[in-house]
Amino acid sequence: MATKVKVAEARDIPVGQARVVEASGKPIALVNADGTLYAVDNTCLHRGGPVGEGDLDGLVLTCPWHGWRWDVKTGVSVNNPAVRLACYAVSVEDGAVYVEL
Ligand code: FES
């Protein structure tokens, strides 16, 4: 069964920005793409870079280490669609952001 974990306050994730948050010890990239929040694994599948520290362009988050690009809605790599980051369901309640692990 999925566990819902509070990871942030919604006001701390501005539109067009990504943040690295932690849920039960797991680093997660939390992204606000045009007002919709998405959560994907923070660990880049190239060489482990922190994707949540990268730049967001629409739904595409770019890893700051070597530029691999990730679709935050599906977790799929834009460079190599065979590779996919885990995605997590996100909800907002009373201004708090929760992800389901
Ligand atoms: S570690 Fe992310 S692009 Fe290389």
What are the boundaries of each domain within the chain? 4-100
pLDDT at 77 > cutoff 90: yes
pLDDT at 50 > cutoff 90: yes
pLDDT at 64: 98
- CATH topology for 4-100 is Rieske Iron-sulfur Protein (2.102.10)
For 60, counting Cβ atoms within 10 Å of its Cβ (0-12 exposed, 13-18 middle, 19+ buried), the class is middle
Instruction: Report which protein residue has its CA nearest ligand 1's atom 4.
Output: 66
pLDDT at 9 > cutoff 90: yes
**Percent of the chain beyond pLDDT 90?**
98
Cα–ligand 1 centroid distance for 27 (angstroms) = 16
Band of the pLDDT at 2, cuts 50, 70, 90?
A: confident
Cα separation, 30 vs 39, in Å, equals: 5
Which of 40, 42, 44 is the best mutation target for the ligand 1 pocket, counting ligand atoms within 8 Å of the beta carbon and taking the most? Answer: 44
pTM for the model: 0.95
The alpha helices in 6-97, defined as continuous H runs, are none
Compute the residue count for the chain.
101
User: Using alpha carbons only, what angle is made at residue 60 by residues 33 and 25, rounded to the nearest 5 degrees?
Assistant: 75
Structure tokens at 76: 């799929």
Which residues have CB under 6 Å of ligand 1? 44, 46-49, 63, 65-68
